Amino acid sequence: MTRALVTGIGGQDGSYLAERLLAEGTEVHALVLHDEAQPPYCPPEVTLHVGDLADVAATRRLVLDLAPDEVYNLAAISSVAQSWAEPDLVSRVNGHAAVALLESARQVGEHVRVVQASSAEIFGEPDQMPQSEQTPVRPLNPYGAAKAYAHLSVAVQRQRGLHASSLILYNHESPRRPTRFVTRKITAGVAAIAQGRASGLVLGNLDARRDWGWAPDYVDAMVRAARTEAPDDYVIATGVGHTVRDFAQVAFRCAGIADWEHLVSSDSGLTRPADATALVGDASHAREALGWAPTLGFEDVVAALVAADLAAGAT
Ligand code: GDP
């Protein structure tokens, strides 16, 4: 039986990944922080190990004890906004701890396969659109800088013989995404307006452009990367960019509200010190080498989130 260790089980990707691995008969172990002893969407069949990924020595003992076949490192401080407030914490968790985990996995033995959840934020404000694996790594915020360190370290360990892939994940969403992200903030807000529980929505930069995909598709890419014979860096994205304004427009339309612009305001207090304005990815390499393709496009993703928030608000 294949044994997998998943870090970051408390996030949307961790929960979808655990469901996917369990469904195919993989034994799933997960590292959880003390304060999330039973993560919200974590299936009960997952064996939980309490610990902090950033406690490098304890994590190494766990990895060596478990000797997993596959390690998925999804644990991270996932908010770019928070990374401005706590750059040291973000560098420890998203950077240093990931690098230590790679070394721990290497010590397990030659059979181990590692998938690192990297991020489009490593590209910062890129000169080219869409971005590919060849785009210069030039982060603009502490989150991107820490993720870049982990990303580059995957390549270093791969050159040393470790089966390790870094997936440069573009924004990917689901109803399990917390509302601190703009997508769920919008769809939860739209549902509240449609149901008479709110009268407006305050956002930050409406012109930021993102490539928004469907989280379970991105989890599928992670499993494919672990199972391929050719570990590598892979951009995982839909290839289509939309602005925050586009997202809001489609979300209101999905809730039956055509005349929406007066319901949204932009507060400069919510804009970021530096914000990538055009992150759109070219996943050709993943399509060719991993046979990966997204199953849902932008409008489907928005519709799924709005439907879930309308259903939740109606109960
Ligand atoms: P990120 O791309 O991982 O930082 O994901 P987010 O969903 O947090 O942000 C996506 C984009 O939406 C960024 O460019 C934000 O600046 C922009 N944005 C605009 N208004 C808001 C808002 O009210 N909340 C958040 N979180 N982001 C916003």
Residue by residue, pLDDT tens for the chain (315 residues) are 999 999 999 999 999 999 999 999 999 999 998 766 688 899 999 999 999 999 999 999 999 999 999 999 999 998 888 899 999 999 999 999 999 999 999 999 999 999 999 999 999 999 999 999 999 999 999 999 999 999 999 999 999 999 999 999 999 999 999 999 999 999 999 999 999 999 999 999 999 999 999 999 999 999 999 999 999 999 999 999 999 999 999 999 999 999 999 999 999 888 877 766 688 999 999 999 999 999 999 999 999 999 999 999 987
Q: Which atom of ligand 1 lies nearest, measured to the CA of 78? A: 3
CA–CA separation, 92 vs 274, rounded Å?
21
Q: Give the CA distances from residue 170 to residues 232, 257, 312, in Å, rounded to whole numbers and listed in that order.
A: 17, 28, 27
Q: Which atom of ligand 1 lies nearest, measured to the CA of 80? A: 4
Q: Give the CA distances from residue 177 to residues 39, 161, 207, 315, in Å, rounded to whole numbers and listed in that order.
A: 13, 35, 21, 19
Instruction: Determine how many CB atoms are found less than 10 A away from the CB of residue 315.
Output: 4
Residue of 83, 104, 121, 170 with catalytic role: 121
Q: What backbone phi and psi angles, to 5 degrees, belong to 138?
A: -150, 70
Q: Are 245 and 307 within 8 A, CB to CB?
A: no
> What are the b/e assignments for 286-297, b being 16+ CB within 10 Å?
bbebbebebebe
Q: Is the pTM of this model over 0.85?
A: yes
Q: Are 90 and 147 within 8 A, CB to CB?
A: no
Which domains does the chain possess? 3-172+215-236 (3.40.50.720), 175-210+240-279+295-314 (3.90.25.10)
Instruction: Determine how many CB atoms are found less than 10 A away from the CB of residue 213.
Output: 29
Going from the Cα of 269 to the center of ligand 1, the distance in angstroms, rounded, reads: 13
277: nearest Cα among 152, 135, 139, 125? 125
290: nearest Cα among 224, 217, 215? 224
Mutate to test the pocket of ligand 1, among 82, 83, 244 (most ligand atoms within 8 A of CB): 244
Cis peptide preceding 130, ω within 30 of 0: yes
Cβ < 6 A, ligand 1 pocket: 80, 171, 180-183, 185, 203-205, 208, 210, 244, 270, 272, 275
